[in-house]
């Protein structure tokens, strides 16, 4: 259940640039005492001028704005070095931009289109920040979680153990020993080639879709306290499976998935804002064929209304490799 809900609520990860760190020599004679943590720098007023490039002044507010845009490039640097690296990059940008202004490059049609696009994108982001992200309340996130939980179909999960051996003959011999009264845990510790053998072959609880099909079918067919009288073959070998108990599968706690739920609410707000803005502004395609192509593409990407990233995350989860020894496909 945790895996399935997380799959539906997954958020996208950030790609960080790899940066080299400097190595520091150590005193071989006697280890130096740990250095005291540096004091946090005093806050700088936004209008404080840090650098002047030509006639243009770079303020603390300018630096913070650049940091929001360039931060991922310097994410692995310590905060003080990150600030300096961002300032150096901003100086470079201002210096070359001044040269571009002097050459009237902003009048070049291609450059002008690029500047216009960057301006529109900044306004787009600022609008969504104000009316989308900042507008999300904790109560709204909790209500969305409750909606997801209520929409889930009740499913049963199984707590099972197994003994994994290479051949059918070995598995049949295990069944005979169990029929003769041999302890399952002891046999698992003695004979199982899987990593859970020392723990009596205990796989814990699992739900539908978390085990390879043959294993899952056999486990769900057993009553609690019984084991398979016929060995079960999978790509990992031959299994003798024992089911300990069955229970209704519980949803993950709200605290476990709150961040993912917030991402879903944020994406839904974005879709609502965009649809309302399109309707208000009016969108007219000059070519009906182009309109049909765009609408078909948007429908396919949205998965019938879901965020494209959520659809991609779900597809990735379905394509995950089957784990060895029938273990759950996603670690919990």
pLDDT of residue 146: 96
pLDDT along the chain (332 residues), means of 10: 43 28 33 53 88 94 91 88 94 95 96 96 95 95 94 93 97 97 97 96 95 97 97 97 95 94 95 95 95 92 49 34 39 30
Residue 244's nearest CA partner among 266, 269, 262, 226 is 226
User: What is the bridge-based pairing of β-strands 156-165 and 202-206?
Assistant: antiparallel
Answer for the pair 75, 90: CB distance below 8 angstroms, yes or no. Answer: no
Q: Is the full-model pTM beyond 0.85?
A: no
Q: How far apart are CA 320 and CA 258, in angstroms?
A: 24
| Residue environment code for 185-210, b if the CB has 16+ CB neighbours within 10 A, otherwise e | bebbbebbebebbeebbbbebbbeeb
pLDDT of residue 320: 32
Q: How far apart are the first and last CA of the chain?
A: 10
pLDDT of residue 40: 63
Domain layout of the chain by residue ranges: 47-103, 156-251
pLDDT of residue 69: 87
pLDDT of residue 5: 45
pLDDT of residue 42: 79
Write the CATH number of the domain with boundaries 156-251: 3.10.50.40
């Amino acid at each position: 259940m945790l895996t399935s809900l997380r799959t539906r609520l997954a958020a996208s990860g950030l790609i960080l640039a790899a940066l080299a760190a400097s190595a520091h020599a150590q005193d071989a004679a006697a280890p130096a005492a740990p250095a005291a943590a540096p004091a946090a720098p005093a806050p700088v007023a936004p209008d404080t001028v840090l650098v002047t490039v030509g006639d243009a002044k770079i303020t603390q507010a300018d630096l913070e704005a650049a940091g929001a845009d360039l931060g991922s490039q310097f994410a692995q640097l310590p905060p003080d070095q990150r600030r300096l690296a961002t300032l150096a990059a901003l100086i470079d940008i201002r210096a070359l931009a001044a040269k571009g202004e002097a050459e009237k490059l902003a009048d070049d049609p291609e450059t002008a289109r690029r500047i216009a696009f960057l301006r529109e994108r900044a306004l787009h982001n600022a609008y969504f920040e104000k009316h989308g992200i900042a507008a999300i309340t904790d109560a709204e996130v909790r209500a969305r979680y409750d909606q997801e939980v209520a929409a889930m179909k009740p499913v049963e999960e199984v707590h099972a153990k197994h003994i994994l051996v290479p051949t059918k003959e070995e598995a049949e011999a295990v069944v005979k020993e169990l029929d003769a009264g041999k302890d399952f845990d002891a046999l698992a510790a003695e004979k199982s080639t899987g990593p859970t053998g020392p723990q009596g072959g205990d796989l814990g609880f699992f739900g539908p879709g978390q085990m390879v099909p043959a294993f899952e079918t056999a486990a769900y067919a057993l009553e609690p306290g019984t084991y398979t009288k016929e060995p079960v073959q999978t790509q990992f070998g031959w299994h003798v499976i024992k089911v300990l108990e069955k229970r209704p599968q519980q949803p993950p706690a709200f605290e476990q998935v709150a961040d993912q739920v917030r991402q879903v609410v944020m994406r839904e707000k974005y879709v609502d804002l965009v649809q309302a803005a399109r309707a208000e502004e009016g969108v007219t395609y000059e070519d009906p064929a182009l309109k049909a192509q765009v609408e078909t593409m948007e429908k396919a990407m949205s998965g019938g209304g879901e965020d494209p990233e959520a659809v991609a995350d779900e597809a990735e989860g379905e394509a995950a490799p089957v784990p060895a020894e029938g273990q759950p496909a996603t670690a919990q």
